[in-house]
């Protein structure tokens, strides 16, 4: 018989990833950026840029660690 070990995704990492995304969105909303309108100069633009970097990082991590979590 072959010994096959299955790596189970970690639910704690999923919660952390989703919580970070929600925090970014709440910070952008708290900075006064209206939904559906272009972002003007200020903290909303910086937070929006960090959110885009966050999404890019998720995409990169999903390439290298596809079975690490359910989100990736």
Residue identified by tokens 């952390």 is: 16
Q: Residue 33 contacts by C-beta under 8 Å, 6 or more apart in sequence? A: 39, 44, 47, 48
pLDDT confidence of residue 2: 61
| Model confidence, pTM | 0.78
Which pair of tokens denotes residue 69? 């979590």
Q: What Å distances lie between residue 53 and 11, 49, 56, CA to CA? A: 23, 6, 5
Q: 6-57: per-residue pLDDT in tens? A: 777 778 888 999 999 999 999 988 988 888 888 788 888 899 899 999 999 9
pLDDT confidence of residue 52: 92
Of 41 and 2, the one with more pLDDT: 41
pLDDT confidence of residue 32: 86
């Amino acid at each position: 018989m072959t010994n096959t070990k299955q790596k189970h995704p970690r639910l704690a990492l999923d919660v952390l990833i989703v919580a970070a995304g929600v925090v970014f969105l709440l910070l952008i909303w708290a900075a006064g950026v209206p939904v559906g309108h272009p972002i003007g100069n200020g903290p909303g633009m910086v937070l929006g840029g960090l959110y885009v970097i966050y999404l890019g990082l998720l995409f990169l991590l999903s390439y290298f660690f596809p079975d690490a979590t359910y989100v990736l």
